[in-house]
Structure 1
Amino acid sequence: MKAIVFDEIGPPKQVLFLADVPMPAIGDGEALVRMVSASINPGDFLFIQNLYPEPKKPRFPRQIAGNHGAGIIEAAGCDVALAPGTLVAFSHEKVWAEYAAVPAEWLIPLPPDYPAERASQLMNPITAWDLVTESGVRPGDWLAVTAGYSTISTLALQFARRRGANVIAVVRRIHPELDLRDLGAAAVIDLSEPALDLEARVRAITGGAGLHGVIDNVGGPATGALIRSLAFGGQVVVNGGMSAERFELHNFDLLLKGAAIRASVYRYFFSPPVADDAAILREVVEVFGRPDFLVPLGGVHPLDDVRQAIAESWDRPDRGKRLFRM
């Protein structure tokens, strides 16, 4: 079968290539999934650069890349309750391929007519849902979301608005082709604006109330300014680090605001879904599948277009999620 693989640690644009590899074998409790679509995510790039902790480490030779995708069960081993023909989404490993062997406990069944492009991205709305929850915002509160055009941020923005929160999208530069206010943003702050005083702008937008929550995918000086713009008891959830720059704080920036900073690791990074997740997963699947829930898409690529797909995802993640279609 065809798969996108790598034989060494390095920049994804340099080390990934398409190869013929053996079909995966399945054992008891596993399903053979014929892949339909797989998303390209920042986490995939961290794995390729060997930045994830154990046990999420590359194994050579011919390590197949990709962590999130969707497909149809082709065959099932013993003790697999889901039947062949079931459309499933999952977060596991080795998904940038025509087939994947997946332990059944990781599989999330979907309606048979669920859009493939959304099925392969299911981990993103789950993550966005969790980020909004962890931010602690309530109806009427103000939430700032950095990397406003990124997939996670556009999804978090929409989930937050559905909860009645006011969202400020913070972006490196305005993209005229996508107005984030159409997704529900109350305001958009362009960091490229000359002489921008980010703290003053937040005060003006919030009428002096300040931010009750921040979902940060970037880091750098803007993060420090947003933390200093928190209302008392505000929460900061760190989900990524797109910037190589650091931010600076004084203890009083946190202490006198009763503020908290926490890291968020996506729900199924180490462990598969459990029975208690069922209600949340049903709601996320239903809301994410609605036509009025907007999901900007950067492009869809066949596996043999690996160079273009990876280059666009690496260089311009703000232009929408890119997918592989098998």
Structure 2
Amino acid sequence: MRAIYYDRQGPAHDVLAVGDLPAPVAGTGEVLVRVYRSGINPSDVKNRTGFVSKMPFDRIIPHQDGAGVIESVGAGVSPDRLGQRVWVYEAQYGRAGGTAAEYVAVPSANAIALPDATSFDVGASLGVPAMTAHRCLFADGDLRGRRVMVHGGAGAVGSAAVQLAKWGGAWVVATVRRPEQMEVVRRAGADLVLNLRQGDVAVDVKAGTDGAGVDHIVDVDVVANGELDLACLANGGAISAYSVGDRDATVPVPVLPFMLVNGAVRFVYVYTMPTSAKQAAVKDITSCLTAGAYRPEIGLILPLDRTADGHDAVERGAAQGKVLIAVMDA
């Protein structure tokens, strides 16, 4: 099979190679998926650079997210799954082979049926962004009638959070840093879009919530936004942080101000979410897709042999939306 792989960590154009590798075989409890689209996430970039950990395998086919068709099933998996269109999550977590290849073998539970009207492009845009967003939003229960703030609303996780929060019945304010991102977030469904570099965001958030503030904050950079988050937080509210740019970053917590608003800070790492949280995310993401309420922004689609360019785009934040690799013609 054609695949992208690396056997050492470093810059994308230095270490990512394309070539022919043996196709995997579905083991017990697994399915073999013919990959049509592979999604690139910041965590894929961090794995390739060594930000998260050193090489756990001698050779790695990257990417956790993807979409395709089940070609074969291993022992213990119903043959009824053959030919099923699926989206895949955590394909490369704890394994050497991800979705940047024509075939990937994953546990059957990690290959989720795609609704008939959902494209492979959308399917490959789920996984890490949608499941991260779901945990940030729903860890504390129902969102109906709640107020949600999403930082980085034009990013993959941010856009997913806006759409899932609206599907869940919340009022949503989202922030951006560039004017051109505002329309992207409006298309995602945000009720209010604010530029972090213009005006007084906390004042605008309080005005938009009749002075109450927001119940949930989904934050891509809690180190930079901590003071603002506290100023926007409603009594009993929670901040969910899911990303960090510095391995040694710390978040100083002003204990008394947080205590006075009964506030909470949660850190979310999608790969180690409790199994029950992943199952709940899959269920709700499927319902959101079926309702036609999830329409991710696709920023860039590249052929397999340009995967390194895709990694560069994600690393630089150059693409407005999800970056996908077209492994095969859909």
Normalising by the residue count of structure 1, what TM-score does the alignment of the two structures yield?
Answer: 0.85
Tell me the distance in 2 between the aligned counterparts of 1:145 and 1:322: 20
- How far 1:292 moved relative to its partner? 5.2
Match of 1:23 in 2: 23
Which residue number in structure 2 is paired with residue 86 of structure 1? 84
3-state SS, counterpart of residue 204 of structure 1: helix
Assess, with a 3 A threshold, how the Cα gap between structure 1 residues 26 and 289 changes in structure 2: closer, same or farther.
Answer: same
Provide the aligned length of Structure 1 versus Structure 2.
318
Q: Secondary structure at the match of 1:178?
A: helix
Are the counterparts in 1 of residues 176 and 182 from structure 2 also a CA contact under 8 Å? no
| Distance of aligned partners of 1:255 and 1:177 in 2 relative to their CA distance in 1, 3 Å threshold | closer
SS of match in other structure, 2:238: strand
* 1:241 counterpart residue number: 244
Determine the C-alpha separation between the residues in 1 that align with 2:135 and 2:148.
14
Q: How far apart are the structure 1 equivalents of 2:309 and 2:24?
A: 26
- Determine the C-alpha separation between the residues in 2 that align with 1:85 and 1:299: 27
Q: Deviations along 1:177-200, whole A, 9 cap, x unmatched?
A: 72523433222221222xx43333
Deviates more, 1:293-302 or 1:73-82: 73-82
Which among 187, 195, 200 is matched to residue 197 of structure 1? 200
Pairs within 5 Å for 1:1-326:
1-12=1-12, 14-52=14-52, 58-60=56-58, 62-82=59-79, 83-91=81-89, 92-93=91-92, 94-111=98-115, 114-123=118-127, 124-134=129-139, 138-175=143-180, 178-193=183-198, 196-242=199-245, 248-266=252-270, 269-270=271-272, 277=279, 281-291=282-292, 293-316=294-317, 319-326=320-327
2:222 is paired with a residue whose SS is coil
Q: Which runs of 5+ in 1 are unaligned?
A: none
**Letter paired with 2:75:** C
For residues 315 and 79 of structure 1, do their structure 2 counterparts lie closer, same or farther at Cα, with a shift above 3 Å needed?
Answer: same
CA offset digits 1:149-171 (Å, max 9, x no partner): 01221121122223332211111
Letter in 2 for 1:230: L
- 1:221–1:246: 8 Å Cα contact kept in structure 2? no
**Which whole-Å CA distance do the structure 2 matches of 1:205 and 1:308 have between them?**
40
Shift in Å, 1:51: 4.1
Note closer, same or farther for the CA distance 1:197–1:311 as it changes in structure 2 (3 Å cut).
same
Deviation at 1:71, TM superposition (A): 1.9
Deviation digits for residues 54-101 of structure 1 (CA, Å, limit 9, x no counterpart): xx95311x3111111122122222222143212222222121111112
Indicate conservation of the 8 Å contact 1:25/1:101, yes or no: yes
Asked if 2 retains the 8 angstrom alpha-carbon contact of 1:219 and 1:246, the reply is: no
Does the CA-based 8 Å contact 1:68-1:120 persist in structure 2? Answer: yes
User: Cα 1:168–1:33, aligned 2, differ >3 Å: closer, same or farther?
Assistant: same
TM-score using structure 2 length? 0.84
What letter matches 2:175 in structure 1? V
CA positional deviation for 1:243:
7.6
CA RMSD of superposed structures (Å): 3.0
Measured in 2, the distance between the counterparts of 1:163 and 1:112 equals 22
Give the stretch that moved more between structures: 9-18 or 92-101.
9-18
Percent identity between matched residues is: 28
Whole-Å separation in 1 of the counterparts to 2:17 and 2:175: 35
**Runs of 5+ consecutive residues of structure 2 not aligned to the other structure:** 93-97
Which letter does structure 2 place at the counterpart of 1:142? R
Aligned to 1:220, the other structure's residue is in SS state helix
**Which whole-Å deviations, capped at 9, do the CAs of 1:227-278 have from their partners, x for residues lacking one?**
2321211111111125897654421121111111011222xx258977993x
CA separation of 1:246 and 1:265: change in aligned 2, threshold 3 A: closer
Question: Structure 2 CA distance, aligned partners of 1:275 and 1:134?
Answer: 8
- Inter-partner Cα distance in structure 1 for 2:73 and 2:325: 24
Alpha-carbon shift at residue 31 of structure 1 (Å) = 2.5
Contact kept in structure 2, 1:158 and 1:183, CA below 8 Å? yes
Amino acid at match of 1:122: L
